[in-house]
Chain A
Amino acid sequence: MAVNRRDFLKGLAVGGTTGYFAMAGLSSTILKDTFLPNEPVGDVEIGEVKSIKCTVVSETSWFNNKVLVGDMMKAGGLLVNQYIIPWTHKGVAEGYNGDNSGGYCTLIDVEFLDGTKKKILFDCGWNTAWMDTCLQREGVDKMLEKDQIDLFYITHEHFDHYWGVESVLKHCNDMPIAVPKGFYQEGYDLLCNKGHWEVPGVKNDYPAKGQVTTRESGKVHKIFPGVASITFDSSIITRVKGEQALIFNIKDKGLAIVTGCCHMGIISLLQEVRHRVKGGEKIYAIQGGLHISPFEDWDPQYDDLILAIPKYGIEVMGCNHCTGYSTAEKMIKAGLPVVQGTARFKSKKKLYLGNGDQIVFG
């Protein structure tokens, strides 16, 4: 090695400086607790409810994973705008009358501390023929006709949660409606302006006449005593943006969270509720789609999730829909409190709550 003294010293200086910053960088990472703020504690008081009952109107958003993913891929991939995808509506053996589309919809009965009750229709599915059947099966069509639904809550703009809107509005179109920030103009047109799209096969001839509230992210929106909503500005496949979830504070139990798809991620949702809602340190239950393996796909990130969930002390997990059967199987094996279903009305397995199943919190 032939290095002159001057060059060697220069190299040493540069190397030393780099080394110093390297150590500082590593130390900063190791000691990041020193640099980063403490975890916030939720302080928004939302009140309490006595209990809630969730009835799964439909959790089978589609009937064949390969057909659904194939539709998106043929149209250009998971990023393509959902309103230009020619979804398969014929020839699917396990579909509903050959149609691959189904939908996600839950009816939530809320009982308040004073004994009064309200009903929230949580999403409205996709395929109107399928949704008509499901709404009729659970008596929701009659509830709508009798103006018994107090709030029509749409979690996000995805086809399987929202495009069945005609099935709801044809029975009642003047109830209050809640949507998350992020809805595209197409979404509002479908809701209020008789939107009609030939290629994807979606329309609504019954425009909403009730108040439509768009809720922003970054804060807790109180809806009824003991009931609040929280919005995330998540970017979601098929160009969808934004999703909201409902929070119920069940007296003597803790918080119960009801989700549509939970694209924001279950841990992010739990964290956000913890950080914003008073009593968030005790999340008693979660219900709905957890969006982990919706197409029975997998990612080691989901194993991270299953390993992390026990730290939150959730007592009841009423998951279904886009949670995926693979996830439910792994969660059950990991000892998580997943509530099993009855596998009726085209729900395929008993691993989680299926169509027509009910769960009560409180």
Chain B
Amino acid sequence: MNTLRNHMWLESRLFEDKMSQPARGILGVLVSFIMFYVLWWVFMDVRGIMKWYTPQYGYMYIRWILIVAIWQAYIFNFWPFSLEWRESKHPLVTGGTLILVNFAVVGIVIWGFFYNFLGKFSIPYLSVDQLEGLGMTRFYAREYSSLAILMFAAIASWLSPIVPVCFGNHPWQGMKQPARGITVFMVTFFMSVMFFFCLMHPHYHVLFWPFQEYAAAYPWWYDFAHTLHGNYNVGWVMCGTVAIWLLELTFDRYPFRLIRNKILRGVVGFVGVWAFAMLLFYMFNFVQDLSWGPAVDGAKRIYAPDWRYLHSGELAIMALIPAMILNFYFDNGPKKYSPAVNIAIRLAIIAVATCVFHFLYYKFSPGLLGTQAGYSHPQQFPMAPGILFICTMLFHNWFMDFWPGKKRTGNREVELDEEGEEIGVQ
């Protein structure tokens, strides 16, 4: 018999609050923000040490940190670490260890798998050295390859959570780790590669001159998107990533959780998430049209159709941050009404918080984060700091059990039936 602990350890955790609200919530946000700021300063900030925010090169690492964290906690249930180790060690030890493992895996994936394997033996745009060897300036070689490599992670961070969130890991819910993790990883990675070749590879048809017409399809979205740039797909895939996490965090998987058949729930959930993502995407596009006027074909910056699409993704990320803060640090309130009313109130809170966050970000990020002033400069790329902050909140939750605001006191010992449902729970 499978247990919730073995199936999805995170969901089995029991916590004791170490302080009351709002102090606990504020402290939690502060801890995550300090972790974020230290990482940003060391690795990203142009005034800091590594200066990777160029922006795509740094953003590539950030996207891979996110997907590897999802693999660690959601897909592999912390394997190869034992749950006993996870439960017995201090949150600072588990947090530090798991973050270091995360960074190591990211390094191996990027430098080993992409730069020195796929980039060398299959597609040159996945390797900085290969592009530079073809005569490209190193900076642009790095930016172009980074965009491609990070898009694998972006697509994966949309598709990977669908298996646990929508399908409940079905039909592999009964498998033990690492077999289940590897299976889900292989399936979602395969899907991600398929989507990459349809959504992003055509971007590289036109990125190089002469056009790579024998190697990649012409961007099929041009006629209706009015841009050849892959940002059209980047934007809605980002909205997809946000949609799946809003379903998990804000909607408590409602209404899809009402469907008991997991395959059907998964299929409906996948389509529903995609539809929700497109709604977010076009809604944010329209908000921009209303704010700045319509996009203009061929224009740069805020009037560029491709930047508008990208910014829709950025706005979605800005909405996810307050959704996560509400869920992680302020008990995902309210909870006392019906699910639909709870969700509606949460969405209203998130909408207001998104507007506030948007204003604060563009006002303070040049001074605080060393980004370029203004909305649309290529060096003003809020997805990078936004997703890094999301990563540190995930670290704080998944790897550190919200220390020090909360203390994990144990785990619910719930048995699951063959369908992966909690026995006795309707």
Show the binding face of A for B, using Cβ within 8 Å.
1-3, 7-8, 10-11, 13-15, 18, 21-22, 25-26, 28-29, 32, 35-37, 65-66, 69-70, 72-73, 76-80, 233-237, 239, 241, 264-268, 271, 295-301, 303-309, 311, 326, 329-330
Contacts and interface: CB of A to CB of B under 8 A. Distances in A.
B203 interface: yes
The main secondary structure of chain B at its interface with chain A is: loop
Contact of A307 (B47, B203, B298, B338): B298
The prevalent SS among residues of A at the interface is helix
| Interface hub of B51, B54, B296, B298 (most chain A Cβ within 10 A) | B298
A197 to B, nearest CB: 18
A271 B296 CA distance: 9
B300 A267 contact: yes
B46 A300 contact: no
A268 B303 contact: yes
Contacts of A296: 137
B217 to A, nearest CB: 13
Contacts of B294: 32, 36
Interface stretch (B107-115, B221-229, B386-394): B221-229
Nearest to B226: A304
B368 interface: no
Interface string B108-149: 000000000000000000000000000001111000000000
B230 interface: yes
In the complex, which of the residues A79, A305, A326 has the most CB atoms of chain B within 10 Å of its own CB atom?
A79
B54 A267 contact: no
B258 A3 contact: yes
Contacts of B299: 265, 267-268, 271, 305, 308
Contacts of B293: 36-37
Contact of B290 (A14, A35, A77): A35
Contact of B300 (A29, A73, A265, A330): A265
B283 interface: yes
Interface in B27-70: 46-47, 51, 53-54
Nearest to A311: B297
Contacts of A271: 296, 299, 303
Contact of A11 (B139, B227, B258): B258
The 10 tightest CB contacts between A and B, nearest first, are: A308-B298, A265-B300, A235-B374, A11-B255, A267-B299, A300-B228, A22-B279, A305-B298, A300-B229, A235-B377
B285 interface: yes
B140 A14 contact: no
Contact of B137 (A14, A26, A297, A326): A297
A26 B282 contact: yes
A306 B297 CA distance: 10
B206 A300 contact: yes
Given A271-B303, A298-B207, A77 B46 contact: yes
B261 interface: yes
Contact of A18 (B139, B227, B276): B276
Contacts of B370: 79
Interface size class of B (residues with CB under 8 A): 35 or more
B137 A10 contact: no
B373 interface: yes
A303 B286 contact: no
Nearest to B211: A303
A75 B53 CA distance: 13
A14 B255 contact: yes
Interface string B312-326: 000000000000000
B305 interface: yes
Nearest to B285: A29
B297 A268 contact: no
Contacts of B157: none
24 contacts: A1-B259, A3-B259, A25-B283, A29-B285, A29-B286, A36-B293, A36-B294, A69-B139, A73-B139, A78-B54, A79-B379, A235-B373, A239-B372, A265-B299, A265-B304, A267-B299, A268-B300, A300-B228, A300-B230, A301-B229, A301-B304, A301-B307, A303-B206, A307-B228
Contact of B303 (A35, A76, A78, A267): A267
Contacts of B214: none
Contacts of B258: 3, 7-8, 11
